[in-house]
Amino acid sequence: MSEHPSVVYIDESKVRDYLLVAVGLDRRELRTARAAITELILRGQSRLHMRKESDARRKLILSRIATLRLDVTVFRAPKDGRSDTVRRADCIRALVSSLPRDSATTLCFELDETLVRKDRQTIVEAVHSSGNAGSFAHRHATAVHEPLLALPDALGWAWAKGGDWRRRCDTEICVVDI
């Protein structure tokens, strides 16, 4: 991550390459960002999810996200014979080693019950092997309970789609190939 985020929201995409999308925010920006996202949730929706939105809504969501101060990194692992589990672990290791040294950072992953235990193990191993003495907390949450998980979902969706959708992200996205 290029900045010094306090909270990093993480989601994945497996459409083509394996993408681990990490969106960092300063804690002072959380209230503003959460309000911007929750305001977009329509009556009857439990969360924002780009795959289920119309193109008009996708454009609105991306334009609203573009107004936020975010630090976005896409960790990309190509299809090269590694399983999704291995590519995810490689991306998590790269994420942990990219975080600022000696800082308190919270990682918030989109919940997938099948990955929680492996993610925790990978994070602990990554902290030890990277020599990063920072203070890390990590959790897994559903997008229903943590609306800011819509950020990596939307930006990852747009980035993976490419073309005009990627341009609409309108934020600098750092890409790290794994």
The per-residue pLDDT for range 79-126, each reduced to its tens digit, is: 999 999 999 999 999 999 888 776 778 999 999 999 999 999 998 898
- Give the start-end residues of each E strand in 14-125: 18-25, 71-77, 104-110
Mean pLDDT for back-to-back runs of 10 residues, the chain (178 residues): 75 90 94 95 93 94 94 95 94 90 84 92 87 77 95 94 87 88
Closest CA to 115 of 69, 74, 84, 136: 84
Per-residue confidence (pLDDT) for residue 1, from 0 to 100: 57
Amino acid letter for position 69: R
Residue 17 contacts residue 77 (beta carbons within 8 Å) = yes
Compute the distance between CA of residue 134 and CA of residue 49 in angstroms, rounded to an integer. Answer: 32
Residues 160 and 148: their CA atoms lie apart, in Å, by 19
What's the pLDDT score for residue 66?
93
State the residue for tokens 């929201």.
Answer: 9
How many CA atoms are closer than 13 Å to the CA of 134, on its beta-carbon side?
A: 25
